[in-house]
């Protein structure tokens, strides 16, 4: 459990599961517009790259070795298979930043409680369909698609909205010194 999650996490599943795969706290972010690059590589290479790049995280999920790198648009890791580039990530202002990768989902109809995050969230859907409800409406993405989900403080709720189980990778850039996922209401 990371430092921000220990302070309070309102996204306890209601038929919807959430597993933290990797996280890191950094003191600053790269300059310019930022994107999450989602790639796969052999396990040892993904782990090695994550260890040498402060803005990269590695995780094993769905039978693949993933590398998630926060940085400028249009970059690629040699020898990697790129699945997505999500962004630009909404700007987050903080003294310290938590970069986190979650694996989440659930059966059709399962959903998170209504909540916020003190930062930005981006989603890559592995299978199924996700719906994100916010005060401005509903966004959806299906397998192989992305959501550049929300800016800091956006009230939201995620739901598995397809006919099959949802499985997704969720990337966060949040204020490391604030509660990760406080409860909210519409």
Q: Is the pLDDT of residue 5 over 90?
A: no
Q: How confident is the model at residue 1 (pLDDT cuts 50, 70, 90)?
A: very low
89-106 exposure pattern, b = at least 16 Cβ within 10 A, e = fewer? bbebebeebbbbbbbbbb
**How does pLDDT run across 62-79, given as a tens digit for each residue?**
899 999 999 999 999 999
**In this predicted structure, what is the pLDDT of residue 14?**
63
Q: How confident is the model at residue 9 (pLDDT cuts 50, 70, 90)?
A: very low
80: DSSP letter: P
Query: CA 51, 8, 25 angle in degrees (round to 5)?
Result: 20
Global confidence as pTM: 0.90
Average pLDDT value for the chain: 91
Q: Give the residue-averaged pLDDT of 102-131.
A: 97
Q: Give the residue-averaged pLDDT of 77-94.
A: 95
Q: Give the residue-averaged pLDDT of 96-124.
A: 97
Q: Which domains does the chain have, with CATH numbers?
A: 3-175 (2.60.120.10)
């Amino acid at each position: 459990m990371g430092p921000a999650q220990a302070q309070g996490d309102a996204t306890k599943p209601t038929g919807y599961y959430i597993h933290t795969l990797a996280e890191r706290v950094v003191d600053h972010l790269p300059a310019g517009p930022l994107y999450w690059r989602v790639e796969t590589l052999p396990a040892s290479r993904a782990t090695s790259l994550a260890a040498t790049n402060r803005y990269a995280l590695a995780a094993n999920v769905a039978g693949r070795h993933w590398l998630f790198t926060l940085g400028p648009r249009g970059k690629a890791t040699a020898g990697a298979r790129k699945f997505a580039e999500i962004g630009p990530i909404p700007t987050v202002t903080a003294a310290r930043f938590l970069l986190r990768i979650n694996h989440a989902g659930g059966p059709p109809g399962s959903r998170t409680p209504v909540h916020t995050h003190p930062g930005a969230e981006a989603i890559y859907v592995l299978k199924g369909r996700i719906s994100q409800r916010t005060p401005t409406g509903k966004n959806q993405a299906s397998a192989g698609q992305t959501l550049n989900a929300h800016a800091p403080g956006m009230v939201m709720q995620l739901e598995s909205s397809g006919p099959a189980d949802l499985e997704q990778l969720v990337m966060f850039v949040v204020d490391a010194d604030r509660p990760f996922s406080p409860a909210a209401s519409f």
